[in-house]
Amino acid sequence: MFQHVEAYPGDPILSLNEAFGKDPRPNKINLSIGIYFDDAGKIPMLPSVRAAELKVVAEAGARPYLPMEGAANFRTAVQHLLFGADHVAVKKGRIVTLQMVGSSGGLKIGGDFIKRYFPTSSMLVSDPTWDNHRAVFEGSGITVKTYPYYDAATGGLRFDAMLDALKAADKKSIVLLHACCHNPTGVDLTQAQWQALVPVLKERELIPFLDLAYQGYGDGIEQDAYAVRLLATEGLSFFVANSFSKSMSLYGERCGALSVVCPDAAQAVNVLGQMKATIRRNYSNPPMHGGQLVARVLSDPELRPMWEAEVVAMRDRIQSMRRQLHDVLSAKLPGRDFSYFLTQRGMFSYTGLSPEQCDRLKEEFGVYLVRSGRMCVAGLNSGNVEATANAMAAVLA
């Protein structure tokens, strides 16, 4: 019956993470998946989230089905987090925010919606991008192409080439943009570059789809929403999928949202309705628990500042790991430039290591990086940074 079902080659990130779990070597180091680990190498339970959970559990509420669009308190809190409670688009009821099964769910539901209402639009993603972007949108039946982004020669952004590609894009193309902490490169647009992008998006009637999976890991919770707020202020209509996996360390609870900024409130009503229909056809309605923790943290006057401080601490720890890795490697291999560790932002650095060098790191040293050369710097800690630098120096020598 299933002879025609071919073997699954595996996912470049999740399957590598599974391989790490099975690796019996005690000194193995996981720099593969985009997860924040603390200095003890553990996925933290943030005290703010734990306190929210105790409150939610103590209330012992019933577990009805949530509405298709998710819990109202979650949706409002998330919309205010992304756009600011006083944003004119919020006040005018032009934004639809729906609870999603992680931001992955937001990408998928957004993809299905786009395929239905913009059937001839193709999607442009950055070269490179998170591997799953292509998979998710192609899974919705959308043709996925790329625009230039990362400059391997300088370790920076090919901004002019990116703008030229977007200027030449078909009207109403969907443009996937990383709102902050680009995955996998760690190279972001500056605020001035975001501003320069706006007229191109408008002129070509492009439809931005922002992915905000690392809010708080760039410059700050508010600052990392810059692009989202700019596009909304500029009157663009667009999608944004955001995640609490990383910012609240709630990976397995699958907490995210999809927001759609619409031209007016009447269109927003219909977009909400058809999004609900899309959700109903996929999984009916989202799970309850994690979203209630998020809503509680965001709206509780004591827990909110606690969480904000926890995000600062996670960001600062990654920064200090970037610095240490840079310093050790620069000392070991004086001829080489490792400044990219300091300039790239968020959880990831793009090391420029070849797939073969990544294989060597894994096989000889138990150091796991995605084969694209992407390193999750948030997997480094004071106990493994030296060993990582030694292993990298060995394969680079």
What is the C-alpha to C-alpha distance for residues 75 and 69, in angstroms, rounded to an integer? 8
Query: How many CB atoms lie under 10 A from the CB of residue 186?
Result: 25
Q: What type of residue sits at position 390?
A: N
Query: How many CB atoms lie under 10 A from the CB of residue 350?
Result: 22
Indicate whether 185 belongs to the interface with ligand KET (CB under 6 A): no
Indicate whether 256 belongs to the interface with ligand KET (CB under 6 A): yes
Among 33, 179, 268, 311, binds ligand KET (CB under 6 A): 33
Residues with a known catalytic role? 130, 211, 246
Compute the least distance from the CB of residue 282 to ligand KET, in Å: 14
Compute the least distance from the CB of residue 329 to ligand KET, in Å: 23
Residue of minimal Cβ distance to ligand KET: 102
Compute the least distance from the CB of residue 330 to ligand KET, in Å: 27
Nearer to ligand KET, 248 or 328 (CB): 248
Indicate whether 211 belongs to the interface with ligand KET (CB under 6 A): yes
Compute the least distance from the CB of residue 34 to ligand KET, in Å: 3
> Looking at 65-73, 156-164, 243-251, 354-362, which segment touches ligand KET (CB under 6 A)?
243-251
Nearer to ligand KET, 125 or 268 (CB): 125
Indicate whether 183 belongs to the interface with ligand KET (CB under 6 A): yes
The footprint of ligand KET on residues 68-107 (CB under 6 A) is 102-104
What is the C-alpha to C-alpha distance for residues 210 and 225, in angstroms, rounded to an integer? 10
Indicate whether 243 belongs to the interface with ligand KET (CB under 6 A): yes
Nearer to ligand KET, 155 or 256 (CB): 256
Instruction: Give the closest residue to 56 by CA, choosing from 233, 267, 346, 300.
Output: 300
Indicate whether 187 belongs to the interface with ligand KET (CB under 6 A): no
The footprint of ligand KET on residues 268-297 (CB under 6 A) is none
Q: Is 219 exposed, middle or buried (0-12, 13-18, 19+ CB in 10 A)?
A: middle
Compute the least distance from the CB of residue 318 to ligand KET, in Å: 14
Among 114, 213, 271, 369, binds ligand KET (CB under 6 A): 213
Indicate whether 147 belongs to the interface with ligand KET (CB under 6 A): no
Q: How many residues bind ligand KET (CB under 6 A)?
A: 15
Nearer to ligand KET, 133 or 158 (CB): 133
Q: Read off the tokens for 366.
A: 């138990």
Query: What is the binding site for ligand KET (CB under 6 A)?
Result: 13, 33-34, 102-104, 130, 132, 183, 211, 213, 243, 245, 251, 256
